[in-house]
Amino acid sequence: MFKYIIKRFFMAILTIWIIATLTFILMMSIPGSPFNDVSDKTSNEAVQENLEAHFNLDQPPVIQYVYYLKSIATFDFGPSIKKPNDTVNELLGRGFPISFELGILSIIVALISGIALGVLAALKHNKIIDYMAMTIAVLGISIPNFVLATLLIQQLAVNLNILPVATWKSPAHMVLPTIALATGPMAIIARLTRSSMLEVLTQDYIKMARAKGLSPYKVIIKHALKNALMPVVTILGTLLAGVLTGTFVIEKIFAIPGMGQYFVQSINERDYPVIMGTTVFYSAFLILMLFLVDITYGILDPRIKIHDEKGD
């Protein structure tokens, strides 16, 4: 187990290095620089040169790359070019907890409601409840979250006035963004749970569990659901990535002060340190999440062993 974690750790570093390098190449290849904003009256050539020198942008790309790798290695991405009062780490520290809260909340809501809906649909296979659940699922998959968000605001916040329109202050503020963000993943989870549950329910061990005279609750939760959740865990990693990046759009709509605004702005403004910082940070976070998902496999299914291969 320990060896496995070490191995995964080095794999993660390699992955982050590749992502960082690709990001760097992409940043270098897009035209423009942080200082050629025409609307900025104060900028003149002398000031611009000074600034470039300050952020090492006058150096050749190879040297910049070395500085860049150094900043990743020390987790110090330096100050933002466009927001001189903030360092990248401060931006992350301020924005990420909110984005994380929204993302995790949505994933939890999506998991619970998706699994419940899927199990219900499987148990009532080909009955009205099944059809209703699957209609909800299809709607959830096909309606983009920004459309749903707008509809929710229009109906629940503006017309009925029962929930706040925007921002991120109290639990009531969290309801609409969470629903908007959770619906897509919920629909995917519901469909997966349903089909995998239907398959598991025909297995011999379910019949065997019933032949033991166990209660339906035990047969479904203990014997069927644990096995049916494997595919859900598989896509959980991808869903997490989707939800965490999906927060950017939702944050914009609900005016939530999360990471999204900084990320999108930084790309438009060529704010190199912020682009680097957020990209590397998000990659590291996703790699960690995927690692947790892999560990969950081993817990759910004992046949999947997380162990050290012989001789390594």
By CB under 8 A, residue 218 contacts another protein: yes
Residue 45 touches another protein, criterion: CB under 8 A: no
Beta carbon nearer to another protein, 131 or 205: 205
Choosing from 75, 216, 221, 307, the residue that interacts with another protein (CB under 8 A) is: 216
212 makes contact with another protein (CB under 8 A)? yes
Which stretch in 4-12, 35-43, 116-124, 217-225 sits in contact with another protein by CB under 8 A? Answer: 217-225
256 φ, ψ (degrees, to nearest 5): -95, 130
Instruction: Give the range of 10-18, 87-95, 171-179, 207-215 binding another protein by CB under 8 A.
Output: 207-215
Near another protein by CB under 8 A: residue from 104, 116, 214, 293: 214
Q: Nearest CA to 250 among 163, 158, 150? A: 150
Among 59, 227, 245, 261, binds another protein (CB under 8 A): 227
Residues 127 and 134: beta-carbon distance below 8 Å: no
Q: Which stretch binds another protein (CB under 8 A): 28-36, 172-180, 275-283, 295-303?
A: 295-303
The reply to whether 294 sits near another protein by the rule CB under 8 A is no
According to the binding rule CB under 8 A, does residue 303 interact with another protein? Answer: yes
Question: How far is the C-alpha of 137 from the C-alpha of 143, rounded, in Å?
Answer: 10
* Region binding another protein by CB under 8 A among candidate stretches 59-67, 133-141, 210-218, 265-273: 210-218
Buried b (16+ CB within 10 A) or exposed e, 274-287: bbbbbbbbbbbbbb
Indicate whether 213 belongs to the interface with another protein (CB under 8 A): yes
Torsion 142-146-150-153 (CA) sign: positive
Q: Per rule CB under 8 A, is residue 119 in the interface with another protein?
A: no
- Kindly state whether residue 135 participates in binding another protein, applying the rule CB under 8 A: no
Binding interface with another protein (CB under 8 A): 203-205, 207-216, 218, 222-223, 226-227, 300-303
